[in-house]
Amino acid sequence: MCGKDHYSGRCYEHRRKWVENRLLFLARIFAIDLCAYAIMSNHTHLVLRINTAKAQALSHDQVLRRWHRLHQGTLLTRRYQNDRAALSAEEKSTVLATIDVYRERLQSISWFMRELNETIARQANQEDECTGRFWEGRFKSQALLDEASVLACMVYVELNPVRTAQVSSTKDLRFTSLNHRLKARKARTNTVLIKLRSGRISREGELWFSFRDYFDLIQWSLQYSSRSQKDPPKIAALSILNQMNVSATSWYTVCSSLEQRCRGEVHLNKWASEALYAV
């Protein structure tokens, strides 16, 4: 899909940028938090969080503006935005019912993936001058039922290019959420990715760990996997493992083989759960 075709010699690496750009665009539209991603040569890994509170807080106009950035909507929804005073009471009632449908779609993993996959498929088919099915099948997802699972899955996703021997260092992790966060921090710009803890305690909408904790844990997990002599975690990594009550050995075992060990649901600890999903 995005790699090099050894038969024709053609390179499709530019398609990874297509996927990344579309992901970041959709993260601005949907009431779904993008926690982590890794765009591989023939598939994509995502960690998403359904943000129901954000979806419910959207005004009618905000719902329509967001949906109309994806689709034309209906004649009535467009008229509602342009001149709602001209609509009859029955027409306004129809629009409000349609807005409820759009609001549900804006917090749907299935719709998020549909908007991602269909767009990439159309671009690829146009480039290849062909028609027909592009993706092998429907996406698969696992529910992440506690905070330890969320962190483990995020690290698992970030290190996917390392695990498949595409890169050997975090410096080479292109087309991943870690790389995106690093570039945003260097440029001192905001990112559409979910925020990590910025102070001593996490605020509403933030994940419970800081970027420094996250980066150190990824670095240590990478080093741990490549050395026969297993070094103990750094202080930051050790602190975050202790908070989860997970040993270094157990941590690496889980985050290096999460897909094989956890089917359907991932529940590493019995902590407060949220509606998070790994795709």
Structure confidence at residue 100 (pLDDT): 98
Question: What are the chain's domains?
Answer: 14-53+110-278 (3.30.70), 59-105 (no CATH)
Other beta carbons within 10 angstroms of residue 232's beta carbon come to 10
Walk along the chain (279 residues) in steps of 10 and give the mean pLDDT of each run.
Answer: 62 80 96 94 88 96 97 96 94 97 97 91 74 71 82 88 67 86 93 90 86 88 63 64 77 67 54 46
Contact 231, 211 (CB under 8 A): no
Q: What are the C-alpha distances in Å from 116 to residues 19, 46, 159?
A: 8, 12, 22
Instruction: Say how far apart CA 129 and CA 131 lie, in whole Å.
Output: 7
**Structure token digits, residue 45:** 């890994």
pLDDT value at position 95?
97
pLDDT of residue 270: 41
Angle between helix axes 235-244 and 248-256 (nearest 10 degrees) is 80
| Tokens matching residue 27 | 């993260």
- Structure tokens of 212? 């420094």
Token pair in block for residue 127 = 């480039």
- pLDDT at position 273, please? 36
